[in-house]
Structure 1
Amino acid sequence: MLIILVLVPGLGLSLLWGLGTYQLLTQWQAEKAQRNLGVAVGNVTVTLLLDLEQERRLTADVQADPGAANRGSLAAQRAVTDRAVRDARTLVHLDTAHGQKGLAAGIADTEQSLDALAEQRKAVDAATSSEQQAFDYYSEALDSLLGLLTALTHSSNGDTAALSQSLVDLFSAMDMIGREDALLARGWRTAHLTTEARDGLIDAIGTQEYLLQSRVAPFLTGEESSTYRALTTSKAWQNKKAVEEQLVAAGAGSASDRQEFARTRADWRTSVDKVQPQLLRIVAIRADSDTRVAADSVRHLRTLLIGLGVAGLLALALVVATSWRLTVVLRRRILGLREEAQELQTRLPDVVARLERSEDVDVDAEIRLLEPTPDELGELGRALNLASRSAVSTAVRQAQQHRGFERLLQRIARRTQILIGLQLKKLDELENKHEDPEVLEGLFDLDHLTARLRRYEENLVILGGGLPQRRWRRPVRLLDVLRAAQGEVQDYRRIEVEVEDEPWVAERAVGPLVHIIAELMENAAAFSRPPTPVEVRAARVSRGVAVEIEDRGLGMVPAQYAAANALMESPPQLDVLTHAEDVRFGLYVVARLSKGLDLQVELRPSAFGGTRVIVLLPESLVVGRPAEVPRPAVRPAQADVRPTGPRPHPPQAQAGGGSPAAADGKLPVRSRGHAMAHVTAAPSRERGDAYGSTGVQPLPQRVRQASLAAELRVPADEAGHGGQETRGTDGPPSRSGAVVGAFQRESRRARKADSALRPGLDGLPEVGSATREDRE
């Protein structure tokens, strides 16, 4: 196989040498042909260009003043032009295969324009062609010649192309002066220009100034620049510019304007006759420079072609001989290095895979170093050793940094959660201590904000690779899970919850599911305009329970839906630092939690224009209804006023002015933590008797953690460690002072009676009054 070391370099070098020689040969032939064509075509074209410009001016003189002198000058010029035309017609026989791009088309256009020259002359002599028609024909013929000169600038040599382009711009500027001369010839006799001629004159003056100042002067060097500077500072040039300014400023309508126009004729003719030879001198200098540069480039390419051809042959022979010599010497050593490299190739992917699984890797133990030797192959072995060690060390270091950052993030979040738990506990104490509705309203808002803040801190724990600490010890109704999630959303009043049947969720999935649903609800409420609702529906399906969250916002484009669903199917190992500016942290949290529970989350477009999210709970997370939890006895006097669980707030309790009374005429009793239950338990679509068997509508009551099922509630006197309560108010209560005072007195009386019953109910959860210990 090592024979390839001889054949491949020799064959490759041969191909490169042949390709390089062919390219140089082709380039040399092309530049040589382009140089020859440039000289042949350029000389003929420039001669015809100058002759046609002179004939255009004399034709305008004859049309303006058909005197014998003018006709004689025109006839003499036509004879000169005919000789230039005959020379130009020979260009069609030139071989332009290796010439400039567009050269053949330029020659064809010039030939076509010259075919109409005889007919145009007859029309001028018969006075059947107007001044403007003659002017347009000659201008178009000159434009075709300028196009032919422009085609000559398309050379493969960049220096030649740049010089040629400046030369064409100089010819274009001279053509503009010729146009001015032809247009002014119409009005010298009448001392008046038509509007059309005046507009053409102004355009020609502006184009000439632009070409000379922006396209020609910046690229002139040496003698060209000094000649141009002498031209522009000469008295003739200044007189020409003064005449142009006078002609542009004069309206040529009044008698004074006509007199001024007539006086400028002599100045114009004298200035132009002096300026044109100097412009032609600049043209000659630039043309010589162009020709010289093209010739130098051709000679350089020929020398380079010969030198590289000989050097390439010598290098090819040397490479073949050296490769054959080294093949025998290196055969054994190369085979040894190949075996070592193959072994290293199989070991490195395994190391990387172990790092991805968060396993500890010892760099020294994993890398097998190659034995170095004091020659070039030894250097290669040492380089392989360094590369292997660097790759593994870098991977290990990055993995350690990533895990360290995750631990730091979790530690900070856990400490913050402790403070949030203490804050929630303090809020519970303040809520139990104060009975002022306004104070309670503020405390409820703080409690709601704190619950949301706890969820955000749990987001940091999840993104850092951890799991939420909140745990449930019993299954929970799906409706209560959805309400608990609703309580952790800022704009919870817009969320409508509807659950078919009565599915229950396994205890291990309650905490993560509450977090997932809360994130999706928050996202739906945040990206839909208030007061549009966010509909949450849950029902059993063939593979478990499906929860649908649908908003009426702007939605996303199909690509965004595809990206989000791909994220839900395979959440990445998120590096928070790389997504610091991503506002969709909630989607990463949902993806991680749903992956751990084997939930299926899918985002789809909604019929309302927003987004519809479907969360599918598998059968393994859906359980049957557990046995009823024993509940404490309730005094007969309280049976018609204390709720047995979270219930909607009756409409009468929200109206201002007056308060409903119980059937026995007494105010409803408020036990600890039962004020304003309608705020925490959002109205559901479940049907049933919401006010007990008596039919009496109680005053609004607050039930602590009313969105949770009875199984989640524990005695109120147990210590709490942070929780899931969600409280808020729909607005300040509108009740009179007497009613509030009566409510407080009866509440205190009920608490005393309730405390008398508590010793016999130790260890049983109180309905509607639970601490957070059961969920953490």
Structure 2
Amino acid sequence: MSLRTALLVLAVVPGVALAALWAVTSGQTLLDFQRQAAQGQLAQKAGQPSNIVYYNLQEERRLSAEALARGGGPTDALRKQRKLTDKAIDGFQSLSDIATDDAPGEVRDAVRSARTAITQLPAQRTLVDEGDNDQQKAVYGYYTDLIAVDLKLFTALSHVDNGRITTLSQPLVGLFWAKEMISRSDALLARGWTSGKLSTADLREVRQAVSGQSLQYSTQIVPFLPADERARWQEVFAGSAWKAKTRVENQVLRPADPDRAGFVTLGAKEADWRGAMDEVTPQLVKLMEQRTDGVVAAGKDSVISLLIKVVVTTVVGLAAVIAVIWFTWRLSRTLRRRISRLQERAEELERALPDVVERLGRGERIDVESEARAIGNDGESGTSDELAQLGNALDLARTSALRAAVEQADQHRGFERLLQRIARRTQQLIGQQLKKLDELERKHEDPEILDGLFDLDHLTARLRRYEENLVILAGGSPHRRWRKPVPLLDVMRSAQGEVQDYQRVVLDLDGAPWIAARAVGPVSHVLAELIENALTFSRPPSPVEVRAAQVSRGLAIEVEDRGLGMEEDQLAAANELMSRPPRMDVLAHADDIRLGLYVIARLAAQHGLRVEFRHSAFGGTRVVVLVPDALTVPGPHSGPVAVPAPAAEDTAPAPA
């Protein structure tokens, strides 16, 4: 049996069995279940997004009133709140398009009204941005009407077929209205905080909103709440924030005579009101969300109860259910076994490919055919279905990936060899140029000419080091060799002479240690790169100090600058690079400013040097280079001598 046939059987047999099962189910019970489930989905898709719109519109109304009162256009808080409101509205509109297709007429009308009112929101915002305090009434009326439409939608969603859910939803609708009364008071008071006064008309609306919230809590909410929720609400009412809110309301609504313009001075402070509201609002929202979750959970329980009733009434279809289970189990077991084997082989492929790539990175030769073990055969002999074809496709993909990796590694190695060849030719020319400059320096005695020649000599030495960097990054080793040990001081001076702003470098050596001949070039190169890096990232004329001293395990050389320093993650990355230098793909890292660090890491790994980056007490960076005892030699009794010339390089032209 093919996989397609098996899947067809799995699709048809359960459908037929369930059709026979549902044929004997009570139609009315099924209709009740579908209707209540749809109502629950509607409440979840349309009701919960509208809750978010409700909260954001209330906050935007308050901030808009505050912006109009202060003048000067929208504040940053208002701009941020508008973005949150737009996001909530987008969610509401996208979900309400789908959720209200089969909704009751009352819900459709409420959603339609809300969507129509929302289209006017940009115009109202423009009115806030360009208007003044005279636009308060129009803006407040628009937001209040829009929120009222939202509350109408809440009321419509609470009218469901399940009477128990309707009863549970009644105090929830009252809670939203009570929260709206508080929010209206907040928005109205926002008009007067700036000037410290409100008109008598505004105070009248504040008094109505305060009375409305008290009426809602006493008649529509608290009497219908269960004991545990009622206790939580009582805790809110007894809290310090609610008392502070009430105290400010009493101060604002105290008996007072208006001035000639019809304004009454507010007898409260904005900070007291804002602090109370910022603490009360999250408490109210939390309790409202708990109540909402309780209603949703009760609705889900009701739907589940109906579902159980439907299942119980369909015992007649038990035989069909057993048949479905048997066929499904047999077919799924077969498919699961084959897919599991295929998955195991795919996971083996996932583990093997990185290992092959890593081996290629280390320079190993890989036989593609021996590595590409077939994973297409899943153990079912003679099968050629979709699973077998998938296995063959994975097998081909693995072979292609291995072949591509091998070819790419060969290309990288070829490029490295080409880069080394070009760099070594350039090194030969640089060596000849240095030799020629040395001859010219010996011939001329004119100070100006000598200064120019010395500058050219210095630039050429730096160019030689850069060419050596290319050789090192390409996997090779510089040609410069020393036949005899060299004093460390001369090595430090040699590194100093290969950087641009060498006058800022201060050398400090404790004792007179000597470096083995095979380590002179690497140590000098590492020091030159570190000194150049320190000079680059520190502002002139601050010095770069290079200190060296004998320690228990060798020589410790410190390069310390007074620049900007490095962040912790940069230090960690640099030290990780020093301890585990990766295989360098020069093309892939051509724009990396840390090429010098790669060179240092390569040389340190090749010659056993230890390099560690640390913070400097001067705010910059301190790098410690540890030269092991194996790379040092005891010096002769005589004083330090000049750096011996490196072994003569092969000046013959490189083969083309």
Q: Which residue of 2 aligns with 1:381?
A: 391
Q: Which residue of 2 aligns with 1:362?
A: 367
Where does 1:8-47 land on structure 2 (aligned, <5 Å)?
A: 24=38, 26-28=40-42
Alpha-carbon deviation of 1:145? 9.2
How far apart are the structure 2 equivalents of 1:353 and 1:472? Answer: 35
1:512 aligns with 2:526: no
**Residue 479 of structure 2 contacts residue 649 of structure 2 at CA under 8 Å; is this kept in 1?**
no
How far apart are the structure 2 equivalents of 1:40 and 1:362? Answer: 69
Q: Which residue of 1 aligns with 2:629?
A: 619
* Larger CA Rg, structure 1 vs 2: 1
Alpha-carbon deviation of 1:316? 9.2
Aligned match of 1:324 in 305, 325, 329? 329
How far apart are the structure 2 equivalents of 1:537 and 1:330? Answer: 71
Alpha-carbon deviation of 1:491? 0.9
TM-score computed with the length of structure 1 as normaliser: 0.45
How far apart are the structure 2 equivalents of 1:524 and 1:133? Answer: 72
Letter paired with 1:364: E
Where does 1:84-123 land on structure 2 (aligned, <5 Å)?
A: 97=168, 104-107=175-178, 110=181
Deviations 1:27-74 (A, max 9, x none): 1466899988977998xxx9xxxxxxxxxxxxxxxxxxxxxxxxxxxx
**Residue 345 of structure 2 contacts residue 375 of structure 2 at CA under 8 Å; is this kept in 1?**
yes
**Residue 487 of structure 2 contacts residue 640 of structure 2 at CA under 8 Å; is this kept in 1?**
no
Q: Which residue of 2 aligns with 1:132?
A: 199
Cα RMSD (Å): 5.0
**Residue 475 of structure 1 contacts residue 626 of structure 1 at CA under 8 Å; is this kept in 2?**
no
Aligned match of 1:478 in 472, 477, 488? 488
Q: Which residue of 2 aligns with 1:501?
A: 511
Over 3 Å counting, the alpha-carbon distance change for 1:328 and 1:550 in structure 2 is closer
Aligned match of 1:599 in 609, 614, 620? 609
**Residue 30 of structure 1 contacts residue 99 of structure 1 at CA under 8 Å; is this kept in 2?**
no
Alpha-carbon deviation of 1:366? 2.3
Aligned match of 2:456 in 425, 446, 450? 446
How far apart are the structure 1 equivalents of 2:172 and 2:404? Answer: 55
How far apart are the structure 1 equivalents of 2:46 and 2:590? Answer: 62
Letter paired with 1:506: A
Aligned match of 1:549 in 559, 562, 568? 559
Alpha-carbon deviation of 1:342? 7.9
Q: Which residue of 1 aligns with 2:469?
A: 459
TM-score computed with the length of structure 2 as normaliser: 0.53
Alpha-carbon deviation of 1:406? 2.2
How far apart are the structure 1 equivalents of 2:198 and 2:568? Answer: 66
Where does 1:622-771 land on structure 2 (aligned, <5 Å)?
A: 622-626=632-636, 708-709=642-643, 712-713=644-645
**Residue 478 of structure 1 contacts residue 503 of structure 1 at CA under 8 Å; is this kept in 2?**
yes
Aligned match of 1:411 in 418, 421, 438? 421
**Residue 552 of structure 1 contacts residue 608 of structure 1 at CA under 8 Å; is this kept in 2?**
yes
What is the SS of the residue equivalent to 2:587? helix
1:581 aligns with 2:585: no
How far apart are the structure 1 equivalents of 2:108 and 2:182? Answer: 16
Where does 1:182-201 land on structure 2 (aligned, <5 Å)?
A: none
Letter paired with 1:132: S
Where does 1:140-289 land on structure 2 (aligned, <5 Å)?
A: 141=208
Letter paired with 1:361: I
**Residue 615 of structure 2 contacts residue 621 of structure 2 at CA under 8 Å; is this kept in 1?**
yes
Deviations 1:272-297 (A, max 9, x none): xxxxxxxxxxxxxxxxxxxxxxxxxx
Over 3 Å counting, the alpha-carbon distance change for 1:41 and 1:603 in structure 2 is same
**Residue 448 of structure 1 contacts residue 488 of structure 1 at CA under 8 Å; is this kept in 2?**
yes
Over 3 Å counting, the alpha-carbon distance change for 1:596 and 1:25 in structure 2 is farther
Q: Which residue of 2 aligns with 1:351?
A: 356
Alpha-carbon deviation of 1:713? 4.8
How far apart are the structure 2 equivalents of 1:416 and 1:563? Answer: 33
What is the SS of the residue equivalent to 1:579? coil
What is the SS of the residue equivalent to 1:385? helix
How far apart are the structure 1 equivalents of 2:443 and 2:542? Answer: 37
Taking only the aligned residue pairs, the percentage that are identical comes to: 52
Letter paired with 2:40: T
Q: Which residue of 2 aligns with 1:526?
A: 536
**Residue 30 of structure 1 contacts residue 98 of structure 1 at CA under 8 Å; is this kept in 2?**
no
How far apart are the structure 1 equivalents of 2:522 and 2:449? Answer: 33
Over 3 Å counting, the alpha-carbon distance change for 1:566 and 1:24 in structure 2 is farther
Over 3 Å counting, the alpha-carbon distance change for 1:559 and 1:350 in structure 2 is closer
**Residue 96 of structure 1 contacts residue 103 of structure 1 at CA under 8 Å; is this kept in 2?**
no
Deviations 1:480-508 (A, max 9, x none): 11011011011111111111111111111
Q: Which residue of 2 aligns with 1:425?
A: 435
Alpha-carbon deviation of 1:377? 2.8
Over 3 Å counting, the alpha-carbon distance change for 1:431 and 1:607 in structure 2 is same
How far apart are the structure 2 equivalents of 1:439 and 1:381? Answer: 76
What is the SS of the residue equivalent to 1:576? coil
How far apart are the structure 1 equivalents of 2:426 and 2:323? Answer: 74
**Residue 504 of structure 1 contacts residue 624 of structure 1 at CA under 8 Å; is this kept in 2?**
yes
Alpha-carbon deviation of 1:317? 8.7
**Residue 430 of structure 2 contacts residue 460 of structure 2 at CA under 8 Å; is this kept in 1?**
yes
Letter paired with 1:538: A
Alpha-carbon deviation of 1:614? 1.0
Where does 1:291-310 land on structure 2 (aligned, <5 Å)?
A: none
How far apart are the structure 2 equivalents of 1:516 and 1:104? Answer: 73
Alpha-carbon deviation of 1:556? 1.8
Letter paired with 1:397: E
How far apart are the structure 2 equivalents of 1:338 and 1:490? Answer: 59
**Residue 96 of structure 1 contacts residue 104 of structure 1 at CA under 8 Å; is this kept in 2?**
no
Q: Which residue of 1 aligns with 2:405?
A: 395
1:572 aligns with 2:577: no
Over 3 Å counting, the alpha-carbon distance change for 1:318 and 1:601 in structure 2 is farther
Deviations 1:674-693 (A, max 9, x none): xxxxxxxxxxxxxxxxxxxx
Q: Which residue of 2 aligns with 1:635?
A: none
How far apart are the structure 2 equivalents of 1:144 and 1:448? Answer: 89
How far apart are the structure 2 equivalents of 1:720 and 1:332? Answer: 67
How far apart are the structure 2 equivalents of 1:452 and 1:436? Answer: 24
**Residue 109 of structure 1 contacts residue 144 of structure 1 at CA under 8 Å; is this kept in 2?**
no
What is the SS of the residue equivalent to 2:591? coil
What is the SS of the residue equivalent to 1:496? strand
How far apart are the structure 2 equivalents of 1:434 and 1:415? Answer: 29
**Residue 510 of structure 2 contacts residue 548 of structure 2 at CA under 8 Å; is this kept in 1?**
yes
How far apart are the structure 1 equivalents of 2:211 and 2:426? Answer: 82
How far apart are the structure 2 equivalents of 1:532 and 1:562? Answer: 25
Letter paired with 2:331: L
What is the SS of the residue equivalent to 2:627? strand
Alpha-carbon deviation of 1:106? 1.9
Alpha-carbon deviation of 1:452? 0.4
Alpha-carbon deviation of 1:568? 1.3
Q: Which residue of 2 aligns with 1:694?
A: none
Letter paired with 1:137: R
Letter paired with 2:41: Q
Alpha-carbon deviation of 1:109? 5.2
**Residue 473 of structure 1 contacts residue 507 of structure 1 at CA under 8 Å; is this kept in 2?**
yes
